[in-house]
Structures are given as C-alpha cells and as structure tokens.
Amino acid sequence: MRAILNVIWLVLSGFWLAIGYAFAGLVCCLLIITIPFGLASFRIAGYALWPFGRTVTERRTAGIPSLLGNIVWLLVAGWWLALAHVATGIALCVTVVGIPLGIGNFKLVPVALLPLGREIVSTR
C-alpha cells in the first residue's frame, strides 16, 4: 500500500514539492553561512519525494543553534514552502482519492516551517 501511495504522491505533488525544496537548497548553498539550511532542504526534498513509510522525529540533542537556524529558515524559505504544502493539500482534498495525500501534505507543514533539529526515520 505504501508503494501505491508513494507513486500517486510522486505524480500529484511530490515531484513539484521536491523541486521547491531542491531550489531552496541550491539557493541556500550559494552562501557559505547557509549551507546547513541547504543540506536540511535536500534531506526534506528526498522525504517530500517519497514520504510514505518514513516519518519525521525531533532530535533531542538539537539545541539553541537549531532554534536560531529555524528562525532564519522560517523568514527566508520556510513560509513559502509551507504555503506550497497548504495549497497542494487543499487541492488534493477536493477529491476523495486525494484526501490521504492532502493530509500528508498538511503533516509536512511543520517540517517545512522548522526543519532543523529533526531527522527522517523509517517506520519499520
């Protein structure tokens, strides 16, 4: 079932969301100081491409640097990536088949807003 949901996700929203995250990662990697944001964005791009079967957990060891980085990320790229998830989630919830995918998009909004201090792990 996960494979079917991932393929449908990839076609309907995952590809475009992954491109958005990859673009944000490239922009962040242009400057030396924002490379950690770019790496986090590339990690989330992979998750946005194929999310079912994986989940996001908070790292307990993340401290003040992650908090400060999340504030900068929120101002620079997080808000428009979160808006993309909300818009895609609303569009997918219009159809009955797209409701689980829309809910998946809404679950990615907090990750898009505050990605640092989180890690992507398998549900197995």
Q: Which pLDDT tens digit goes with each residue over 31-66? A: 888 888 888 889 889 888 888 888 888 887 778 888
What is the reported pTM? 0.81
3-state helix, strand, coil in the chain (%, to 5): 75, 10, 20
Check if the beta carbon of residue 108 is closer than 8 Å to that of residue 85.
yes
In this predicted structure, the answer to whether residue 124 has a pLDDT above a threshold of 80 is no
- Compute the average pLDDT of residues 68-75: 87
**φ, ψ dihedrals at 119, nearest 5°:** -135, 150
**115 or 62, which is more confident?**
115
Mean pLDDT of all residues belonging to the chain? 87
